[in-house]
């Protein structure tokens, strides 16, 4: 049995970039569905647009600032990285949130995510400065 080539002609495949507003809508829908389906507090569900917007901002900054280098040309940021962040948020269970007033759960989430996002932005800026120095 011999193998035949698929075609002697090369193919060119072009893929358009997805707009940020489309990504925002997709990930807001997915995360919002998970939180609504899991009966999370409305205070947490209301934060979905801000969480997705911040995550998308960090993703966009990584795309623009952390370009492939000759020594590490094999790695580029793509949508899988953004999807992994949202999937990580979807590992949160309702039982892990404190009981009590609705504002208490939202306050807990705000006070824990704000320092993490600040640290991520600081590390990203530091990494960009180091890459420019090289």
Computed over every residue of the chain, the mean pLDDT equals: 75
Locate 8 and state its tokens: 């002697």
Dump pLDDT digits (tens) for 82-126: 888 888 888 888 777 655 555 555 565 556 566 666 666 666 666
- The pTM (predicted TM-score) of the whole model is 0.62
Lowest mean pLDDT among 8-12, 17-21, 52-56: 8-12
Who has greater pLDDT, 34 or 58? 34
- pLDDT computed for residue 105 by the predictor: 53
Give the domain ranges of the chain: 20-67+76-93+102-133
Contacts with 53 (C-beta within 8 Å, 6 or more apart), sequence order? 24
Measure the CA–CA gap between 41 and 50, rounded to whole angstroms: 16
């Amino acid at each position: 049995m011999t193998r035949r080539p698929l075609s002697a002609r090369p193919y060119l495949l072009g893929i358009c970039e997805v707009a940020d507003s489309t990504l925002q809508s997709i990930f807001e829908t997915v995360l919002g569905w998970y939180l609504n389906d899991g009966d999370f507090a409305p205070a947490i569900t209301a934060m979905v647009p801000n969480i997705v917007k911040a995550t998308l901002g960090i993703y966009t900054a990584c795309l623009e600032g952390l370009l492939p280098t000759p020594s590490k040309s094999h790695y580029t940021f793509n949508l899988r990285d953004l999807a992994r962040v949202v999937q990580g948020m979807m590992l949160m269970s309702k039982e892990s949130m404190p009981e009590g007033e609705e504002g208490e759960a939202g306050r807990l989430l705000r006070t824990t995510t704000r320092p993490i996002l600040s640290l991520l932005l600081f590390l990203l800026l530091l990494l960009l400065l180091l890459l420019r120095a090289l």
